Amino acid sequence: MADDHPGRPALAGWREWVGMPGLGVPHVKAKLDTGARSSALHAFDLEELTRDGRDWVRFSVHPWQRSDADAVLVEHPVHDRRLVRSSTGHAQERIVIRTAIELLGRSVTTEVTLARRDEMGFRLLVGREALRQGFAVDAARSYLGGRPPRAVRLRNRGRAGA
């Protein structure tokens, strides 16, 4: 979707397809959550390592909802570690990375915490810190940025093919 009004926030639905090109994830369904400060990505098999004196993290991402197909292995510099309180009130220290997300044809760089989100319906939660970089959310609408090709949507539903 082209940005026809660069000074105005882009209108997004409460759920959208998002890309994370720096992580090798071209499509993931995301919940846009204005009640959450930071964004959170479902990540598993987290392994911390040191590279050239800097902290890095290696982890895997399951891009499809309710599926472990097509896991993506990622290595990324650690930006921070932070105590994050979940919606249930449980506090947990999480690794934070900075990465670009593509939403509605716009790319913004934001902090993303890494957490196991197996029990959550969406593999990515996009919080206020990312949304305030030029997005407004219409809670009554979905997928205003369009949908990926049918083959991608079928993969997300756990079915291969076109």
8 pLDDT band, cuts 50/70/90, is confident
pLDDT tens by residue, 26-46 = 989 999 999 999 999 999 899
- What pTM was computed for the model? 0.86
Long-range contacts of 48-55 (CB under 8 A, 24+ apart): 48/78, 48/95, 49/75, 51/77, 54/78
State residue 111's pLDDT score.
Answer: 97
State residue 161's pLDDT score.
Answer: 42
Strand (E) or helix (H) holding 76: strand 72-77
Q: Are strands 25-32 and 124-126 parallel, antiparallel or unpaired?
A: parallel
State residue 162's pLDDT score.
Answer: 37
1 pLDDT band, cuts 50/70/90, is very low
Label each residue of 77-110 as H, E or C.
ECCEEEEEECCCCCEEEEEEEEEEEEECCEEEEE
